[in-house]
Amino acid sequence: MEIEKWSHVFKLDPEKELSDQALESVCESGTDAIIIGGTLNVTFDNTIELLGRVRRYALPCMLEVSNIEAVVPGFDGYFIPLVLNAQNPEWILGAHARGLEEHGPFIRWDEVMVEGYVIGNPESAAARLTAADTQLDEGRMKAYARMADQMLKLPIFYIEYSGTYGDAALVKAAQQVVHNSRIFYGGGIRTAEQAAEMAQWADTIVVGNSLYTDLEAALATVEAVKKIKE
Ligand code: 1GP
């Protein structure tokens, strides 16, 4: 898992349909990795099925764990979100404690990375589930960024606007104060221009939903990001 080399990843939702042909173009697009994850209706069965399909291709495949019941062995690595702006403590460390009670002795820690999440879209399923405080300005964003990077020393600071395109100025604000965490930006990227804009400030761009609505435009984000990072 060399996430420091990843500038672009696609996030696939096990609940959503993607044809074999579409999956092939996603996996052969030049993206750096696939993350499998979603907020609702992620099950062991739909996760393992999608992993099996992605495994036909050579790129790394990570599971973003959102449901303890859906932890499937055999991924290259596991991302564990810790929602820094959740107001429901379950999603800060509650679910994590229960996960460790169940799986603690079996976890291979070199395969696990914790993501410090900040959720910015109040309408997203993730914001509703976690009761996220989505009132973000540059000062607040910098505070969360320092929390992930300096205070908690997390490998990933994930700015999540799932379903809507976020404010690039906030991503820039985070970038100004983060020294070590890798900054992931995901949310509402539908065009190459949007991907390029966020790639100025985020280390890694995550594209999810648009794969299911406009595949060609989603695929074009790979090259747009790679150009910025050249
Ligand atoms: C979702 O950050 C990802 O967790 C990507 O967001 O689905 O809106 O592209 P979109």
| Distances from the Cα of 174 to the Cα of 5, 118, 181, 217, angstroms | 19, 11, 10, 27
DSSP string covering 108-177, please?
Answer: -GGGEEEEEEEE--TTSHHHHHHTB-----HHHHHHHHHIIIIIS--SEEEEE-TTS---HHHHHHHHHH
| Whole-number pLDDT of residue 16 | 95
Q: Token digits for 99?
A: 């996960």
pLDDT of 1 over the 80 cut = no
* pLDDT-based confidence at residue 100 (cuts at 50, 70, 90): very high
Q: What is the pLDDT of residues 118-131, one digit of tens each?
A: 999 999 999 999 99
99 lines ligand 1 (CB under 6 A): no
**What pLDDT is recorded for position 218?**
98
Ligand 1 contact, 160 CB (< 6 A)? yes
What percent of the chain has pLDDT above 70?
100
Atom 3, ligand 1: residue with shortest CA distance: 186
User: What is the pLDDT, as a whole number, of residue 87?
Assistant: 95
Give the closest residue (by CA) to ligand 1 atom 1.
162
Question: Distance (Å, rounded) from C-alpha 15 to C-alpha 41?
Answer: 6
Whether ligand 1 lies within 6 angstroms of the CB of 183 is answered as no
The C-alpha R_g of the chain, in whole angstroms, comes to 16
Cα 11 to middle of ligand 1, angstroms? 7
Give per-residue pLDDT as tens, 148-190. Answer: 999 999 999 999 999 999 999 999 999 999 999 999 999 999 9
